[in-house]
Amino acid sequence: MNFIPSQLPGVIIIEPDIFGDERGFFMETWRAAHYAEHGIPEQFVQDNLSLSQQGVLRGLHYQHPDAQGKLITVLQGEVYDVAVDIRVGSPTFGQWMGITLSGENKNQVYVPPGFAHGFSVTSDSALFMYKCTRIYNPNTEFSIAWNDPDIGIEWPSASPQLADKDQQAPFLKDISETQLPKYQAEPGS
């Protein structure tokens, strides 16, 4: 397994070892001690699964104060997955990274607490699974506009299908700092 740091500190891309033959394949999707060795120490407490059609964009979502870390895998189909650093005071505040995840490449991405997350479905449909470090709390969930010009995400579609709450989401600059997580530098940095 390869654990690859992204340009956003804490966001990690995981390329699993895949063992396949004419019968199919096998891969390990989670082993706590192995992932902890590579900077993913969180305990996961909830698994989620969603099915979305092509053109659907979900996000950008985050919880505060109940921030969630997410380990993301696409089981079938393909998505463009995005993480945005929204930690007030972070050197990378407002910056984003994107990666294509698919049932074919079987890659994972870990998005730590303190980041907003979203994805856009680029195949006919996508079966999207993610492990969470905190339980979903609708009272502390917020959204940021998917098309925030200050963030400048290069989504694969300029006119995605959005949920009502995502259509109403504010730009990051219009969100009170009290509704955003705070950056805490790693010891020794």
Token readout for 43 is: 């305990």
Cβ of 171: how many Cβ atoms within 10 Å? 13
DSSP class of 36 = H
Cβ of 124: how many Cβ atoms within 10 Å? 11
Q: Annotated catalytic, 61?
A: yes
Q: Annotated catalytic, 64?
A: no
In angstroms, the CA 1 to CA 18 distance is: 9
Kind and range of the H or E run holding 68: none
Q: Which amino acid is at 138?
A: P
**What is residue 178's three-state secondary structure?**
helix
Exactly one of 61, 64, 80, 117 is catalytic; which is it? 61
Token readout for 106 is: 């079987």
Closest CA to 10 of 30, 32, 38, 29: 38
Exactly one of 34, 110, 130, 136 is catalytic; which is it? 130
In angstroms, the CA 41 to CA 43 distance is: 7
Token readout for 88 is: 């007030």
Closest CA to 73 of 112, 100, 41: 100
Residue numbers annotated as active site: 61, 130
